[in-house]
Amino acid sequence: MCGFVCLWNAGDEALADRMIRRIAHRGPDAVEVARLPGTQTVMAHCRLSIIGPEDGKQPIHQTNDLLVANGEIYNHQDLRAILGESAFETASDSEAILHLFRSGETRWISKLDGMFAFVLASRSRIIAARDPLGIKPLYVARLNGGYAFASELKAFDGIEVTEIEAIPPGSLYDSRDGWRQWYRTPQGAAEAEPDLDIGRTARELRLVLEEAVAKWMVADVEVGAFLSGGLDSSIIAAIGQKVRRGAGKGPLKTFSVGTEGSPDLTAARAVAAHIGSDHREYVFTAEDVAENLPHVIYHLESADVDLVRSAVPTLFAARLARREVKAVLTGEGADELFAGYAYHHGYVDQPRALADELTRALGTMHNINLQRVDRVTMAESLEARTPFLDRDLIDFAQSIPAELKLRRTDPNALESTGPTTEKWILRKSCEDLLPADLVWRKKAQFDEGSGTVDALDGALRGLVGKDGPVTRAEEGLLYEKILRSRYENPDRIIENAGTWSADRVAV
């Protein structure tokens, strides 16, 4: 996991170095700046060593090509075998991008399996691309008649750039051939066909999920897991523990945060005891929240109220985990794939609308949850991995009828979370992994279950100077004031910041 900058006919090594220093938290292990000889292409890279730690430095320069990449290519070993090991000069997974490009295949990028953003330059051409759902960020701006690319908006702060925009998820820009949308999220299924075997579907989902977790644990360093005590992170942690045991390794390290006595801490302890993980936790207070809000907002690159609220516990979890590991598994994506949000319950009798809404939500994750996870974990030099967003898992989950994801249930029955049960098929597929009272536990959002809402309320009262409750409008104004104080060009950040979208499919 890393951060990078690329200047294409737009600047020199000094400017690239200045920009990469702004995002050096993304990769504290090494910072490198390089020019492609004989061109006006300059790249800079800050590295967090995960795969190929000994010889995987970037930018990668081979003959007439220069590459910088952020993320992980999980099928890089398979690609090496296909492309020919002799062509590779390093153990870095990112080098597979370069050789795939050189293969000359029309849809070479579709063979990359993982989370990634990259810029690749030859003497007369530049290509920039992003993974299917935008797990890894990539921005582009106009500068001095050329282009400037960067992993975070703050790299552009104080520099006279114009027309900043995010490279869309699943998209590729080629200076020779223009824009391509190389990946489209498959449309979700709605109603089950009459002969659908629900048991087989649940069992196959489990197998696809186990393969995804195993794949996303590939690394040359130890990988841990966030554990909130909720369903999603608990499933990932339970499978991750099985993967480590199967490989003859020690227990999975799990990390949980919350306020004293919060439901998440209690549930996480129970899960950790059940799966036998090596568990750590951190108890935070309103004072901790107040002290860290400026840090959260600066790194989040957003003053959106909901995004900031959910980012606070993520920060504490990232700090706790980074003391022990360089990478963690998270449960992001399960709510969008399996109908896990409270508002989804309104779609219970309209599976077609629910399937369309889930598909829409997957396409907006890069602006909200994925932005939060990336920025806040990378602020602490920690790589977050999201196995629920594995491409094969997305394809299979989208083929599962929406009416199996959200179902009307008997609230008194064991296998229910109320009159309607969200993520029903996911619960069924993994019910043997965890205690029944957790599998069918009523869901809480991370910021609610962790106690963040109450701690934040106390922090806000002190920051705003009020004895009574702080309104949502006052909270938003405070966050924007903090953001503006941290940037030379705050309007750019606000204009490009991710926000929660209310553009939902009507029911």
- Catalytic residue positions? 2
φ and ψ at 72, to 5 degrees?
-140, 135
Cα separation, 209 vs 188, in Å, equals 18
Q: What is 395-417 written as a DSSP string? A: HHHHHS-GGGTSEE--TTSSS-S
> Residues 173, 177, 182, CA angle at the centre, nearest 5°?
50
Question: Which residues are paired to 438 by β-bridges?
Answer: none
402-412 burial, b at 16+ Cβ within 10 Å, e below that, comes to bbbbbbebeee
The answer to whether the CB of 258 falls within 8 A of the CB of 283 is yes
296-327 burial, b at 16+ Cβ within 10 Å, e below that, comes to bbbbbbbbbbbbbbbbbbbbbbbbbbbeebbb
250-275 burial, b at 16+ Cβ within 10 Å, e below that, comes to eebbbbbbbbeebbbbebbbbbbebb
CA distances from 255 to 6, 12, 223, 247, 263 (A): 35, 42, 12, 21, 15
* Angle in degrees, 0-180, between the axes of helices 95-102 and 76-83, rounded to the nearest 10: 40
Q: Say which DSSP state 160 is in.
A: -
Structure tokens at 244: 């480590």
Q: Which residues contact 104 (CB under 8 A, 6 or more apart)?
A: none
CA neighbor of 422 nearest in space, from 436, 409, 405, 434 = 405
